[in-house]
Structure 1
Amino acid sequence: MIEAVIFDWAGTTVDYGSLAPVIAFKKAFKNAGIELSDEDIRQDMGMAKWDHVGRILELEDVKKQWEQKYSELPNNNDRKKIYADFQQSLLHYLKEYTELKSGVLKTFNYLKEYGIKVATTTGYTAEMMKIVKDKAAEDGYAPDLVVTSEDVNGLGRPSPAMIQLIMREFNISDPRNIIKIGDTLVDIEEGQNAGVKTVGIVEGSSLLGLSQVEFDELDNEEQIAKRNEVKRKFEAVNADFVIDSIFDLVQIIEYLNESMDKKW
C-alpha cells in the first residue's frame, strides 16, 4: 500500500509555472551583466540553488558573455555574489508567487483521509522554505514533513538523500510504498535514485514554462501540443506515471494499491 507521497513545491503544489526562481535568476545574472533565457534556467530547475547557479555559470553562452564582459571566466567568488543576489531576489518574489495550484487542497485532504503521510523535498533553502511553508499553511496545505538539502549535509537533488531521510522519519522501509511527484526531470531522477514510484506533473510545471494566464490564452490544440511535449520529456527519462493535474494523483494511488493487493 502507498504509505507516503513526497511532493515538490514550486511548479508542483505552488507557483504555477515555477515563475519566482526564473525571475530571481534573471535578475541576479542581469546584475552581473549576463542575459539568460528561460531555457538556460529551466534545464536544471529543481536542483539545490547553489548547485543550479554553478550549472548556469558552466553554460557556454554564459561563459562567453562573462569573458566578453570581464576578460576572464567566472570564479567561485563570482558564484557566491550571484547566489547572494539570487537569494535576496527570490526571498522577495516568494511572497508574491506562493499561491496553491488548483486541486492541491483536494488532493491533500484525500491523502489525510486515507492516512497517507505527506512530505516534501525542494531545491529551496530552509530560509526560502519558511516563507513558502508558512504561506501554504495559511491556505490549508501543511505537509507532515518539509525537508531541504540543509537537512542532509547539502546533498540536494538528484541525490536520494532527502527522500531517504523522509523514509527514516516516517519509518517506511520499502521505497515502493512511496510516490515522489514533481514538475522537473531532476524530481524524477531524485525519486528513481531512491527507488520510489515517480510521477511527473504537466500543467503549471517548470517544463511547461508558462504562467496560468499564458496557458489559458492558448487554444485547445496548442494546449494539447504543449502538454504532449512535456509528457514526452517525462517519458524520455522513464517516469513511472505522467499526469496532467495534481488531483489525477488519486487515480495513480488507487491503481497502485489495487495492483499491490493483487500481488499479495
Structure 2
Amino acid sequence: MKNPIKLAVFDMAGTTIKDQSNVAQAFLKAFFNHGYKKVSLEEANEKMGYPKPLAIREMLQNHISPGEQVTEALINKIHDSFVAEMIQFYKHSPDIAPMADALEVFESLQQMGIKVGLDTGFSRDIADTILSRIGWKGHPLIDITVCSDEVKKGRPHPDMILKMMAALGIGNPLEVIKIGDTEVDIHEGLNSGCLMSIAVTTGAYTEEQLRPHGPTHVVHALSEILPLVEREMATQQD
C-alpha cells in the first residue's frame, strides 16, 4: 500500500489570498522610492513567489548604473520599503480577502486526515499581517505556516516544505502535495519530491505560462484539487 497524503502545502498571495497585482505594485513602488523608475510590472510579476530579497537582488542587476554595485544595504533599503508598503496595504485595503473556496478546501482536506500548511515568499511580519487581517492567524483549519525568512533558502528550494515536514513528523515527501500559482511554487514542489506539485491559475499566470514548468496538474480553482486528492487516496487503499 502506498503512503497516504499527510500534508497539503499552499502558497498565500495569488493562491489562497486574492491578489490583483497588489504585491507587484508594492514592489514597483519600493524600487521607485529609491530612484529605480524603469522597473516594469512585467519584471515584478516574473519574480512573484521568490523570497523578496532575492527577487530585489536579481531585478537590481538589470537596472544599476555602470559602476554601481548591488549591495546588501541597498537590497535591505528596498526590501524595507516593500515591507512597509505591504503591511500598510494588508492592514487597510478593503480588497484583502481569502479565495472564496479556500477554507472549504482546507476543511475537506482535514476531514481526509490531511494537514494544511501555508508557505510564502513573504517575511513573517507581512505574513502575520495578512493572516491577522483575514482572521486566519491561529485558525483551526491551518496547521502550520512557514515564511521565507525562517529558512536558509526560500523557493524554489525545498527548505520551507522540509521545515514543515520536520515540525509535523512527516518523513517522506511523497506524503506531501504542494499547491501554488507561480513557477517557483511548482519548482518548490518538484524540488521537494512532493507527490503532486499543482499549479493554480488564480494568480499572476495563465495555464499556458505555467504548463512549461512541469506541474503534475493544473487547476483553475482550489476546489479542483479535491477530486485529485480523493482519487489518489482511493488508489492508496486498493
The two structures have a TM-score, normalised by structure 2, of 0.89
**Which residue does the alignment assign to 2:23?**
21
Percent identity (aligned): 27
Quote the residue 2:160 is aligned against.
Answer: 162
Residue 82 of structure 1 pairs with residue 78 of structure 2: yes
Which residues in structure 2 correspond to 1:33-112 (within 5 Å)? 33=35, 34-59=37-62, 62-63=63-64, 67=65, 72-76=67-71, 77-95=73-91, 96=93, 97-112=95-110
TM-aligned CA deviation for residue 22 of structure 1: 1.1
Structure 1 spans left out of the alignment, 5+ residues: 208-229
More helix by share: 1
Match of 1:135 in 2: 133
Name the counterpart of 1:222.
Answer: none
Counterpart check, 1:206 vs 2:227: no
> Conserved in 2, the CA contact under 8 Å of 1:26 and 1:35?
no
Q: Shift of residue 254 of structure 1?
A: 1.0
- Indicate if the aligned counterparts of 1:16 and 1:101 stay in contact, CA closer than 8 A: no
SS of equivalent to 2:120:
coil
Q: Cα 1:138–1:187, aligned 2, differ >3 Å: closer, same or farther? A: closer
Instruction: Name the counterpart of 2:146.
Output: 147
Structure 2 counterpart of 1:239, from 215, 218, 223: 215
Q: For the residues of structure 1 that align with 2:136 and 2:191, how far apart are their CA atoms?
A: 33
Alpha-carbon displacement from aligned partner over 1:45-85 (angstroms, at most 9, x marks no partner): 111111111111122xx23xxx2xxx643431322221111
Aligned counterparts of 1:138 and 1:169: Cα–Cα separation in 2? 20
Alpha-carbon contact 1:57-1:74 (below 8 Å) kept: no
Q: Which amino acid aligns with 2:16?
A: T
**What are the ranges of 5 or more consecutive residues in structure 2 without an aligned counterpart?**
none
Q: How many pairs were matched up?
A: 229
Distance of 2:8 and 2:85 partners within structure 1: 30
SS in 2 for 1:85: helix
- From the superposition, tell whether residues 142 and 15 of structure 1 become closer, same or farther in structure 2 (CA, over 3 Å): same
- Code of the residue aligned with 1:92 in structure 2: it is Q
Q: RMSD of aligned C-alpha atoms?
A: 1.9
1:182-197 mapped onto 2 (5 Å cutoff): 182-196=180-194, 197=196
Match of 2:230 in 1: 254
Q: Distance in 1 between matches of 2:30 and 2:186?
A: 27
